[in-house]
Structure 1
Amino acid sequence: MSKINKAILDAYRLGEIAALPEKVHPSGLIESGGRYNVGEPESVIVHWIGSRGTNAVAVANYNRGNIYGGFTHNYISGTENLASARDDEIAWGAGTNGNGYTLQFELTWTHSKHDFMQQTLTAAMWLIDCSKCYPRLNIRQVGYKVHNTFFSGVQEHGWVSRNMGGTDHVDCRGYWYGSHHGFVSPVGRWFGEEYSIEQFVALIDELCGVDRQEGISKKRVQRLYLPSDAKGWNVYRAGGSWSVGHQVGRLQPAKFGGLDYEILAWKIPGVVAVIKTHDFGIVGIYVAAGTGAVIE
């Protein structure tokens, strides 16, 4: 798994980022009254707007002013997932050989690691939801050319331009990776590596609960059991420190006949786990050998 995808999944499990709910544009959805209906989309095109604008409504408004010159179905920022056009109608964003059968969304620029991770998570989860509505939508493969007028899978606009024709755009270059027209991807600065369509599809697979390389279900979740004879158990801020004097609360296993929690992550493997409690939220807990804690 890539460093970026691991960071996204860890932040998601810890509640630090969330998949943003889809909201409809304040002026409603663009539609053609059935003139350009394509029914069920089968492939996906990822766009980047090519500016430092971060407001999804403003970016959508720019495209909606010339709807047959270029627009996409959704606009996703670090804080919004905006539906702008009916997803069962053609989006005019990628040329004749890319528009007629694809679900298309536009990424805005983000100015922080947090917003980038939340934007990427939101896009992946939105596609998973769309695939439940459209069974033919192929979100589990990196896009590949089937013939001159059709590709299958998930691809970025730049690949579509090079392989399907119709446009000369290169996005997501300049945002996910590399540089273009004065824009330099911020992703490498945040993570020490750049992002790619291959990583994005791998993230979708992880969120669907499947390990792409192994082709099997992910390992079951680990659980933490605190024994019924433990009268008190300190918990700490998930980020530390995890020593006496820094506790943020105290669990009472004996009062409830023992307690059990899902282990969300390990801060120190086998020693400090991250759990989510009812009273104190997401916390770190010391569970090293000899404490009486049971890990299964």
Structure 2
Amino acid sequence: MKKFSLLLTGLLTLFTVGAANATTAHASSAVNNYISSSNIKPAKISSSIWGGFPKNAYRHGVGKPEGVVIHETANPSSTIYNEIAYMKAHYNNAFVHSFVDASHIINIANTNYLAWGVGFPGNARYVQFEQVEVHSKSAFAHEVSNAAWYTAYLLHQYGLTPNAADYDGKGTVWSHRAVAKYLGGSDHTDPVGYYSANGKKYFGSSYTMADFYQLVHSYYYDNFTGSASKPSSSSSATPLDKVTYSKLTATAKLSSQYANYRLYNHVKNAYANTSKYSWSSVKATAGKKVYVNDKGVKDKAGTTWYRFTFSTAKNAKQYWAYAGALDLN
């Protein structure tokens, strides 16, 4: 599906379906730091759904993807409209859900149904989008920002949490290379080479999928709460203490000292608009079971914080508390 031919640019009817805000990239990557320091704001999502694409359910049903696959077209000469036109004309060979460049995020196929971009078995599992090659420092940073934000958007839309798959073949954020390596069905390695080359060319160091995942993670936790269609109230928050996050799946109990601490919607002092909650509002008692899904360590202080819910319900409210409030299993 790479190196799509150039076709005449067609007019697309675009409908705004989502908006983004700038985020702070909690990463050491030169590209991510540039995105943060330049206050780059991802593009709005435009919808140009074409009815000619097949509608086949994911393996767990319609509207139930298990993650997102990031592609790159490997065509240095095309534009986003050329790519879309070609794909609509040749969808029997392959197609993806959306296209991204420095200025656009255009959704062309309903993400509730599978696309044909990585072969079996990945097609039946993941939403997929392509990045069009760009050719300047600013354009590459804007495209990466758009791609990471869109990935975070899709994860929220389908109730998924960020989990990088490139190094163990398990997770929700996949490169095409990772799918080919761990699941088969393809021999492609994008967007790894494209990221690496442009990172070196424009920023002096390779850009990696690990760097991209860190940006996805930042957008996910900075820009959304509960609904993928709306940025959260924390999207414009100003970071104070830098925090390094890592996904965690564990159970814990409220410790005997839990009342000495407070509940928050973010790691304390990580954002200017951090909210506090009383333990009585969640009917807390020592020994009460909680479900831990994320860990945050403050870069300077070294203190550890955990994010958790009080039930396994899909939309259960999430809280942060200092490690001393929990006895982790």
* TM score, norm. by length of structure 1: 0.62
Question: Is 2:160 aligned against 1:141?
Answer: no
What amino acid is the match of 1:69? Answer: N
Q: Which has the larger radius of gyration?
A: 1
Question: Is 2:92 aligned against 1:73?
Answer: no
Alpha-carbon distance between aligned partners in 2 of 1:101 and 1:214, rounded to the nearest angstrom = 24
Match of 2:146, SS? helix
Give the CA deviation at 1:34: 5.3
Give the CA deviation at 1:162: 1.8
Alignment deviations for residues 219-275 of structure 1 (CA, whole Å, 9 cap, x no partner): 3359xxxxxxxxxxxxxxxxxxxxxxxxxxxxxxxxxxxxxxxxxxxxxxxxxxxxx
Alpha-carbon distance between aligned partners in 1 of 2:157 and 2:50, rounded to the nearest angstrom = 20
Match of 1:82, SS? strand
Match of 1:194 among 206, 210, 216: 206
What amino acid is the match of 1:131? Answer: L
Give the CA deviation at 1:68: 3.1
Q: How many aligned positions are there?
A: 205
How do residues 28-47 of structure 1 correspond to structure 2 at under 5 angstroms? 28=50, 30-33=52-55, 38-47=62-71
- Percent identity of paired positions between Structure 1 and Structure 2: 23
Alpha-carbon distance between aligned partners in 1 of 2:94 and 2:131, rounded to the nearest angstrom = 14
Give the CA deviation at 1:40: 1.7
Residue 20 of structure 2 aligns with which residue?
Answer: none
- CA spacing shift, 1:47–1:92, aligned 2, 3 Å: same
Asked if the contact 1:154/1:197 (under 8 Å) is kept, the reply is no
Give the CA deviation at 1:191: 0.7
Give the CA deviation at 1:194: 1.2
Give the CA deviation at 1:130: 2.1
Question: Is 2:191 aligned against 1:164?
Answer: no
What amino acid is the match of 2:164? Answer: Q
Alpha-carbon distance between aligned partners in 2 of 1:212 and 1:99, rounded to the nearest angstrom = 32
Asked if the contact 2:67/2:155 (under 8 Å) is kept, the reply is no
What amino acid is the match of 1:116? Answer: F
Question: Is 2:114 aligned against 1:90?
Answer: yes
Runs of 5+ consecutive residues of structure 2 not aligned to the other structure: 1-26, 223-241, 248-265, 274-329
Alpha-carbon distance between aligned partners in 2 of 1:74 and 1:4, rounded to the nearest angstrom = 23
Alignment deviations for residues 136-171 of structure 1 (CA, whole Å, 9 cap, x no partner): x3434344666xxxx422121112112211111121
Give the CA deviation at 1:35: 6.3
Asked if the contact 1:144/1:153 (under 8 Å) is kept, the reply is no
Residue 32 of structure 2 aligns with which residue?
Answer: 5
- CA spacing shift, 1:144–1:98, aligned 2, 3 Å: farther
Residue 261 of structure 2 aligns with which residue?
Answer: none
Alpha-carbon distance between aligned partners in 2 of 1:141 and 1:81, rounded to the nearest angstrom = 22
Question: Is 2:145 aligned against 1:126?
Answer: no
Match of 1:95, SS? coil
Match of 2:171 among 147, 152, 156: 152
What amino acid is the match of 1:139? Answer: P
Alpha-carbon distance between aligned partners in 2 of 1:142 and 1:49, rounded to the nearest angstrom = 21
Alignment deviations for residues 156-210 of structure 1 (CA, whole Å, 9 cap, x no partner): 1112112211111121143111xxxxxxx23212111111111111012222239
What amino acid is the match of 1:42? Answer: E
**Superposition CA RMSD, Å:** 2.6
Match of 1:46, SS? strand
Match of 1:219 among 266, 270, 279: 270
Asked if the contact 1:53/1:59 (under 8 Å) is kept, the reply is no
Match of 1:176, SS? helix
Give the CA deviation at 1:129: 2.2
Residue 105 of structure 1 aligns with which residue?
Answer: 129
Alpha-carbon distance between aligned partners in 2 of 1:154 and 1:92, rounded to the nearest angstrom = 17
Residue 278 of structure 1 aligns with which residue?
Answer: none
Alignment deviations for residues 12-35 of structure 1 (CA, whole Å, 9 cap, x no partner): 2xxxx321111123x735543556
Give the CA deviation at 1:86: 0.7
Alpha-carbon distance between aligned partners in 2 of 1:44 and 1:102, rounded to the nearest angstrom = 5
Alpha-carbon distance between aligned partners in 1 of 2:192 and 2:157, rounded to the nearest angstrom = 30
